Copies of this chain bind each other. A is one copy, B any other.
């Protein structure tokens, strides 16, 4: 990815309600991948969940936030799936990697 770009850091704790949470997650990832300016997404969960998605611009993030299917998912997330969450929007200024 070409610096600078943006990261959306989504940290959450879940309720105990399952109710198609995984299916919705997979659907939202598939949908995000189709959005203009989408660069990638990574997720991990054990006690808490962290999902970081990467975007070309703030405009791309804003468009995704307002996507109608995504708005439905956000509503259901607040209604049943998440105990709490925080969204942080951050500009990636530096990046380096290690690999074998």
Contacts and interface: CB of A to CB of B under 8 A. Distances in A.
Contacts of A7: 7, 9, 88, 90
A90 B87 contact: no
A82 interface: yes
A42 B90 contact: no
Dominant SS among interface residues on chain A: strand
10 contacts: A7-B9, A7-B90, A44-B45, A46-B46, A84-B98, A84-B99, A85-B97, A86-B95, A89-B93, A90-B92
B48 A9 contact: no
A7 B94 CA distance: 11
Interface in A11-63: 11, 42-50, 52
